[in-house]
């Protein structure tokens, strides 16, 4: 008996070289057709800062610091720090900005402390320390009122 011979089947293959060519052509097409995002350009402008006055003003610049009966420090109806704080850092920072703005306008920065009559001397000293930290030398006192 004769053994039947198996048919030799041709293996079906996918030609890979043309597919690689097509992929590279698509890649080149999309690279050429796409627009690249432009980088931000360096713009020559200055942000607003402090402006120096050309000639001095005749009017002095003054801030009135009110110390209420409970020890709260108020400037322009805005409370700064807490009465029990060991140092008035926020007040000192505001007074520093005030002094710098006054110097830019070529006027003297003046601070008037207006304590209530029953406020402790410790609160007044802490306000004076904040003025000293800010570099303000012209400090005046006003008569206090019990508010």
Instruction: Report pLDDT digits (tens) over 98-111.
Output: 888 888 777 888 89
Compute how many other C-beta atoms are within 10 angstroms of the C-beta atom of residue 9. Answer: 6
pLDDT tens track of the chain, all 147 residues?
667 677 666 777 788 888 999 999 999 998 888 877 776 666 666 666 666 656 655 555 788 889 888 888 988 888 888 888 888 889 999 999 888 888 877 788 889 998 888 888 888 899 999 999 989 888 888 875 544
Q: For residue 40, tell me if it sits in a domain.
A: no
> Residue 113: which domain range?
62-141
Q: For residue 99, tell me if it sits in a domain.
A: yes
Residues 135 and 141: their CA atoms lie apart, in Å, by 17
Q: For residue 17, tell me if it sits in a domain.
A: no
Domain count, the chain: 1
* DSSP of 93-134: HHHHHHHHHHHHTT--EEEEEEE-TT--HHHHHHHHHHHHHH
């Amino acid at each position: 008996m004769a053994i039947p011979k198996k048919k030799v089947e041709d293996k079906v293959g996918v030609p890979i070289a043309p597919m690689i060519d097509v992929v590279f052509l698509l890649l080149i097409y999309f690279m050429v057709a796409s627009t690249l995002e432009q980088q931000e350009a360096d713009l020559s402008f200055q942000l607003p800062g402090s402006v120096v006055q050309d000639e001095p003003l005749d009017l002095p610049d003054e801030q009135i610091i009110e110390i209420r009966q409970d020890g709260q420090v108020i400037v322009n109806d805005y409370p700064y720090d807490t009465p029990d704080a060991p140092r008035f850092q926020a007040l000192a920072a505001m007074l520093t900005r005030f002094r710098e703005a006054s110097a830019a306008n070529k006027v003297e920065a003046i601070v008037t402390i207006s304590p209530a009559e029953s406020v402790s001397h410790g609160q007044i000293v802490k306000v004076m320390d904040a003025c000293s930290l800010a570099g303000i030398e012209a400090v005046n006192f006003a008569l206090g009122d019990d508010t």
